[in-house]
Amino acid sequence: MLVALTVALATLGPAPRLSPVPGGSSRLEVETCRGKIVVFTYKPAAYRDGPLIVVFHGVLRNAEEYRDHSRALAERHGAIVVAPHFPDPPFSIERYQKGGLVIDGRPQPLESCTWWAVPDIVADIRRREARPDMPYYFIGHSGGGQFLIRLAGFVKTDVARIVVANPGTYLRTSHESPYPFGFGGLPKELSDDAVLRRYLAQPITLYLGAKDLERDEHLDVTKWGEAQGRTRYERGRNAYDEARRFAAAKGWEFRWRLIVVPDVGHDHEAMFNHALCKDALFGDPKTD
């Protein structure tokens, strides 16, 4: 098997040369392990070797709008913004917000999960910019925040910071809560202490709007969702406090941060354009 793979790779030769990300707003198609993904991009006119910010949309699958609402973020920080589009179908709630780890109640192979498309997207942009060590950051709002908090539980990358903004539910460190609400019901290799320890050491910022208090039609009101709190804001505070206590009890490294925006509700544009977003993405690893 190894020999066949080596031969196949040799036959393919080097990866094709890619053109740089176009200036301004654009649209690319990226080949990933989960198929071809449309990625909406923005590159400031004055861009000079800045970071990459990957922005993840919510349940409305409005990646182009998320890109548009991140242009000011790109300009402020001299960054390229890319917003991947995960349409439904094929990326149902089970395969996007929940990552595809459990389908119809049955755990799936980790390598089949949607999350693995993300490193492929980062690698594509790095190749286009001829910067293999280009630093990158993730930020996702609502359903995109759910996607990222669960990605952080199982995928190790060299991402500088994972900003999880206003998700409806979280991946708790609990084995009593079934996946996607916790690690319950997963195979040992996906739920043991080594997995939990790595999860708590991920560079996560929980970025919460203090006025995100509405119980709208998209809020998970199942038994396990309600167990996390009444509102998205309450659920975020509870998730952070629980994770911090768990890490302290185990004596493990804890790299999560909590940043609360005092005057914003469930609004991705307002969250992205708030002054505190800079700290959420790039600030010192301090908690409030």
162-221: pLDDT as tens digits? 999 999 999 999 999 999 999 999 999 999 999 999 999 999 999 999 999 999 999 999
Residue 226 resides in a domain: yes
Give yes or no for residue 14 having a pLDDT over 90: no
Q: Residue 97: which of 183, 196, 167 has the closest Cα?
A: 167
Summarize pLDDT for 109-119 with one digit per residue, the tens: 999 999 999 99
In a domain, 276, yes or no: yes
288 found inside a domain: no
Q: Is residue 152 situated within a structural domain?
A: yes
Tokens of 131: 């910067």
Q: Is residue 12 part of a domain?
A: no
For 69-111, write each residue's pLDDT tens digit. Answer: 999 999 999 999 999 999 999 999 999 999 999 999 999 999 9
**Overall average pLDDT of the 219-248 stretch:** 98
**Residue 30 in contact with residue 121, Cβ under 8 Å?**
yes
Evaluate if residue 44 carries a pLDDT over 90. Answer: yes
What CATH number does the domain containing 111 carry? 3.40.50.1820
Helix H or strand E segment including 95: none
Domain that holds residue 64: 24-282
Domain presence at residue 9: no
The answer to whether position 189 is within a domain reads yes
pLDDT in tens, 125-169: 999 999 999 999 999 999 999 999 999 999 999 999 999 999 999
Q: Tell me the three state secondary structure of residue 134.
A: coil
CA 274 to CA 276: how far, in whole Å?
5
Distances (CA, A) of 32 to 67, 105, 178, 190, 272: 20, 26, 29, 23, 27
Number of domains in the chain: 1
* 14 lies in some domain: no
pLDDT the model gives residue 16? 64
DSSP H or E stretch at residue 106: strand 106-107
